[in-house]
Amino acid sequence: MSIVGHRQSFYGQIASNRRKSILLVLIVFLLMAGIGLAIGLAMGATVESGVVGIVVAIVVAMVITSISYFSGDSLVLAASGAKEVSPENAPQLMNVVNELSIAAGIPPPKVYLINDTAPNAFATGRDPKHASVAITTGLLQKLDREELQGVMAHELAHVRNLDIRFTLLVGALVGSIVLLTDFFLRFSFYGGMSGGRSRGRDSGGGGAAAILFIIALALAIVAPFFARLVQLAVNREREYLADASSVELTRNPYGLQRALAKIAGDTEVLEVANRATQHLYIVNPIKRFEERSKGLMSTHPSVVERINRLRALSGEAPLAPGDHEALAQLG
């Protein structure tokens, strides 16, 4: 007798993933503001200095965001060796992208090919009007049309859901936390706080100033690590969201299931991928890292978990986490 899993709606999955993503971004923002406040209070020991610390943290985040917002996509495409294609070069690919763009209600993005036999794909661009999708030649060779539709729908879902902008914001907040804490630790190490602490003792607030300094120092050490954990969690939630949105566009969970299994099971190495760009791809291209990593430190959810969420949309029984044979058969 076959076992049937609990059937879910892709609308329910989409709503849940969006709520979790917003909550995670709020956590990163509060962490950044808290770091700014703690550093400001530690350096000035006044409410005004704490407010200045928050303002400085926000300004740093805005500068980093602006730089990434206007130049990030071109840098990623250039680093990946991607070349723009035309309908004449890849008619089936362009046809799939155009039909799914209509379904998503967005302008067709620019389409790029990466000359690599390892199957994978990513999307980039600050909004639907400035979006690009890049896929490897291996993806075109190894996936059938239904699987290609699942992958392209996933990437166009990233574009429609503004995931690139969303993760860029989180990256800017995390980068701001790292810069602020690094500045504070260096400033403290070279004795920059001694004058402030002496002034605090002279004015009778030495004990409070010392406590604030210790709190700020502790936050400066642990905050970047926790901010990175939240950033990775945001990336994983947006992958789940794009998977569910892909089914919304294609009304077919099977193509993406098989595509994920094929990409994850492929043993070829994507030469152009690196630690800075791995989070963009539909499946982590640095597979050895993904296999070793624990859930909290992974840029992507596990492929089996993603497939199981897709199977839940059609009421199918989930795969067991260690069932590599079932995963291989699916691909």
Cβ(24)–Cβ(233) under 8 Å?
A: yes
DSSP tag of 2: -
Whole-angstrom distance, CA of residue 276 vs CA of residue 274: 5
Residues in CB range of 277: below 8 A, 6 or more apart: 76, 79, 80, 122
Q: State both tokens at 200.
A: 């605090």
**At 134, phi and psi to the nearest 5?**
-130, 135
Whole-angstrom distance, CA of residue 47 vs CA of residue 205: 13
Tally Cβ neighbours within 10 Å of residue 125. Answer: 22
CA distances 245 to 53, 63, 111, 251, Å, are: 39, 31, 20, 9
Catalytic entry in 48, 88, 99, 155? 155
239 carries an active-site annotation: no
Catalytically active residues, by annotation: 155
